[in-house]
Structure 1
């Protein structure tokens, strides 16, 4: 936390001898992300910027500012951006590290400078806090849904993975395989990392549809892979099922009448708002859990949930139906806006 006293206030005290209030307390937040063009990233940025503005307007005793930086998928660029940001001295840094091991020295440097480091999605023991998603549990729920909705017949699935060395993507993959292991009719015929890149996802999907004419489904560790995969299947006249992860609004909208069978409700908009709420709480002296687990329910249609339950899907898994999920995904301010901390 940084308290700044303005020059005009000091001048007024010298001239008139009256008590002077210090200028507003300031909270400067920086979010460093691995990319900026995927639909999830666009929603992330929008939610983050809207939350910064809302918190700044809502509180007279604190000036809230924020910046978003994109590494455009480059580890080297992200390291450079992080080093520059540390020298600028913000109050809180959210870092969605491409490879967490490469950032360990920078965590210590930031902390020495009095900056709170929050690791995003991939937990770091050295960070002040880790903002996590329950990836293994979420992946498991996706895999269980796949089992329950596969119909009991032989069901061939291909899984698009994240980026090698990224803990969040690897945890999602671990969970998906754990969920699929609950049934013996689902067979994983292919796995390949798409490095969080929709162009790579398109190429992989094209190859899979050629290589596996009897493929039944594509599972992904991010909804970013769903867009090209769905388009390729439709253009090729292939009826496939899709199992996503992110809660992108356009993907959720395809669940009612489309081929997307299950998704995980993150929502970039929700996360962007939650980042600012978390930073504000810390700034005000609260201490969230060191590992802050973001609430991310499974999304199904009501009809598919009934089918899944009839086929042995666990009753204790929290499920949002599509309409509820769409409402929550779009309105991050309801959960994480200024009213939530007043």
Structure 2
């Protein structure tokens, strides 16, 4: 082999080696968009409650379907546990934090630390405490109130009741998102020609709602309907109606919101006209979809862009579709 031929071969080998090294040293991209499995940390309000059990299930199953790792932290209804446990999740090399906070006002240190680490934060229900979270998933509470009002108006007509007086029992004043339920109800029921003659806070407690309904009936015995912000209060209002010698389905249309087991049982036994069911499992799955978008650097399609809110649909439950929720 002559010198010219040898130089050409050596040059080709050097180019090939340089190209191979360049290709092998190219930095790998990270994130959900390249198929890499992410790790999602979920800090849940309290796993002793069925609502949050369903939320956890929806979150976990959605993460597992994507091939992601799932790490759970249970706050056990304790603010200190929420703060320390969620921060511990951030230290476990998670890629996104999903949190259903027992106290939204204490989210500040958690969200600040996540931002410093470049970890997106998706809040599920309860509230964001005014922090710069990346997205929050809540039930479409206003629409739930509207559905309750539309059903109530139709049922009052069907029952042949001529009264246009109704009662609205709200949750505790601090329940910012839940307040939208009664706001939606009032707007829709008044548009249908009804008057809200009593609107008081039951503080989300059954015993308070029972007393409110008793007093409302004493003032206006011809009340035609009552909407309560949650199911325990609705069932209690129904009990007050029964104790007054009336029917909470045919005499006074009684509607709650949540889709709790006690409400479903009450509908089946005739102690409640209807409830509007939330979908905690669906909310959990939705937070995972949002987490994926945020991990990819995408901006979610918000229902309320100013507050970065995404709404989960709610569903009216009556005796007609009760089996869909009890089977």
Pick the TM interval, shorter chain: 0.5 to 0.7
Unpaired runs of at least 5, structure 1: 1-23, 72-76, 303-320, 331-342
Q: What does residue range 60-139 of structure 1 map to in structure 2 within 5 Å?
A: 62-71=68-77, 77-78=78-79, 80-90=80-90, 91-96=96-101, 103=107, 106-121=110-125, 122=127, 126-139=132-145
Q: Distance in 2 between matches of 1:201 and 1:175?
A: 19
Residue of structure 1 aligned with 2:184, choices 175, 178, 187: 175
Q: What does residue range 27-38 of structure 1 map to in structure 2 within 5 Å?
A: 27-33=39-45
Shift of 1:92: 1.2
Cα 1:46–1:120 shift into 2, 3 Å = closer
Please say if 1:295 is aligned against 2:323: no
For residue 251 of structure 1, what is the aligned residue in structure 2? 263
Q: What does residue range 200-239 of structure 1 map to in structure 2 within 5 Å?
A: 200-239=208-247
Matched-pair contact (CA < 8 Å) for 1:93–1:115:
no
For residue 29 of structure 2, what is the aligned residue in structure 1? none
Q: Distance in 1 between matches of 2:43 and 2:223?
A: 39
Matched-pair contact (CA < 8 Å) for 1:129–1:289:
no
Q: Distance in 2 between matches of 1:112 and 1:177?
A: 43
Unpaired runs of at least 5, structure 2: 1-35, 91-95, 303-308
Q: Distance in 2 between matches of 1:54 and 1:281?
A: 17
Shift of 1:150: 1.8
Q: Deviations over 1:277-334 (max 9, x none)?
A: 66577668876534322122333455xxxxxxxxxxxxxxxxxx3333x16xx6xxxx
Matched-pair contact (CA < 8 Å) for 2:40–2:63:
no
Matched-pair contact (CA < 8 Å) for 2:59–2:281:
no
Q: Distance in 1 between matches of 2:64 and 2:152?
A: 45
Cα 1:228–1:301 shift into 2, 3 Å = closer
Shift of 1:45: 2.8
How many pairs align? 272
Matched-pair contact (CA < 8 Å) for 2:63–2:288:
no
Matched-pair contact (CA < 8 Å) for 1:138–1:264:
yes
Q: Distance in 1 between matches of 2:143 and 2:88?
A: 37
**Normalised by the size of structure 1, how large is the TM-score?**
0.64
Q: Distance in 1 between matches of 2:265 and 2:208?
A: 24
**Normalised by the size of structure 2, how large is the TM-score?**
0.67
Matched-pair contact (CA < 8 Å) for 2:56–2:281:
no
Cα 1:296–1:55 shift into 2, 3 Å = closer
The range that moved more, 167-176 or 277-286, is 277-286
For residue 313 of structure 1, what is the aligned residue in structure 2? none
Shift of 1:182: 1.6
For residue 154 of structure 2, what is the aligned residue in structure 1? 148
Matched-pair contact (CA < 8 Å) for 2:114–2:121:
yes
Matched-pair contact (CA < 8 Å) for 2:267–2:319:
yes
Kindly name which structure, 1 or 2, has the bigger radius of gyration based on alpha carbons.
Answer: 2
Q: Deviations over 1:81-119 (max 9, x none)?
A: 443134313441323465x56645653343224443223
For residue 199 of structure 2, what is the aligned residue in structure 1? 191
For residue 309 of structure 1, what is the aligned residue in structure 2? none
- Give secondary structure in 1 for the equivalent of 2:232: helix
- Give secondary structure in 2 for the equivalent of 1:243: strand
